[in-house]
Structure 1
Amino acid sequence: MSPSLQAIPWRLLTSGLRPTKQPFHYQIRDTSHKAFYLRDNSLVAANLQGENASQEEMVSVIPNRTLERKRCPLILGIKGGSQGLSCGTAEQPRLQLETYNGSTHRFEAAAYPGWFLCTSTQANEPISLTTRPGEAAITDFYFQPK
């Protein structure tokens, strides 16, 4: 495993997740119902409708057993697991791509506590990180099993 891939884990801030060896595949939508899709090798969020709905990226989720279990670290992958979300390994996190149904969930970067995955309130903006969950950016997501 390369050093950059070790920075992928996220902490799912919810209860009831059971460890598994096989990935779960989900559609993830923010609370404004924007879905994730790839645009120019960046993961962005938008309301995808009609023929654009096919652009939605499924997210693969597996536990990362290399980190402290009580922090519930997860690896979030896209493109069938060939790429994943990473915070990088620099002093400050930078979101980048590396080669339950019903309620909302929040993802905290396990390597950078206090930094959360977020989408913009505007469509077609890159997915990023914030230290202020619940303020200007959207940090709550729905999981929809596929």
Structure 2
Amino acid sequence: MDKDKELVRNIPWFRQIQDLDGRVWVFQNESLTAVQRKAHTVPVTIALISCRYPEKLEEGKGDPMYLGLKEPERCLFCIKDGEKPMLQLKVSVKNKEDVVKPFVFYHNKSGTTSSFESAAFPGWFIAIYANGASPVFLSQELGKTHITDFWMTMV
């Protein structure tokens, strides 16, 4: 891989994420929550970083990305808890061997919205509930009671 492509991969995109009803992702009580944007609401800044090891992943699923919080420094990852996968936050990972499927999400863009599918758990997407304040979680319920399509705005 040439140096220019490697440099582009390592430069994060900083974005704020919101649903079509104006609920933004915020960091509170050590978790991500979607709340209605108000004058005093401070959305979390998400860093999207291209995966350095795409050869370890399934092709054609979307752009493999790591998702992290800029402040406080955390990264999103997926683990299995009982019968279903869960979305978790972890202090950012520095060890390259740890940065594999549980930390990767396939970013898919459809028009002006984006969705994020877990690489570790195919068919599970980052989601929020359709009404009111909601935790950010993983779901297979696309377009039913859960929202999985989000707008990303530059910071």
TM-score (norm 1): 0.76
| Correspondence for 1:62 | 49
- Counterpart-to-counterpart distance in 1, 2:154 and 2:74: 19
Shift of 1:123: 2.4
* Distance change (3 Å), C-alpha of 1:108 and 1:74: same
> 2:28 corresponds to which letter in structure 1?
R
1:87 aligns with 2:78: yes
More strand by share: 2
Q: Does 1:76 align with 2:67?
A: yes
Deviation at 1:38, TM superposition (A): 1.3
Residue in 1 aligned with 2:122? 113
Q: Provide the rounded CA distance (Å) in 2 between the counterparts of 1:25 and 1:56.
A: 12
Segments of 5+ residues of structure 1 without an aligned counterpart are 1-18
In the comparison of the two structures, how many residue pairs are matched? Answer: 125
Give the structure 2 partner of residue 32 of structure 1.
21
Asked whether the equivalents of residues 117 and 127 of structure 1 are also in contact (C-alpha less than 8 Å), the reply is yes
Rg: which structure is higher?
A: 2
User: 4+ runs of 1 displaced by more than 4 Å?
Assistant: none
Residue in 2 aligned with 1:16? none
Question: What is the CA deviation profile of residues 84-135 of structure 1, one whole-angstrom value per residue up to 9, with x for unaligned ones?
Answer: 11112567311111118x7001110011100010011222221111112111
Unmatched runs of 5 consecutive residues or more in structure 2: 1-7, 92-108
Distance 2:136 2:74 in 1: 15
Considering Cα pairs closer than 8 Å and 6+ residues apart, tell me whether 1 or 2 has the greater RCO. Answer: 1
In 2, distance between residues paired with 1:125 and 1:24?
A: 24
Q: Which secondary structure state, in structure 2, belongs to the residue aligned with residue 87 of structure 1?
A: strand
> 1:47 offset after TM fit, Å?
1.1
| Whole-angstrom CA distance in 2 between matches of 1:89 and 1:129 | 11
Give runs of aligned pairs for residues 128-143 of structure 1, distance below 5 A: 128-143=137-152
CA RMSD between the two structures: 2.1
Contact 2:116/2:125 (CA < 8 Å) preserved in 1?
Answer: yes
Report if aligned partners of 1:31, 1:138 keep a CA contact under 8 Å in 2.
no
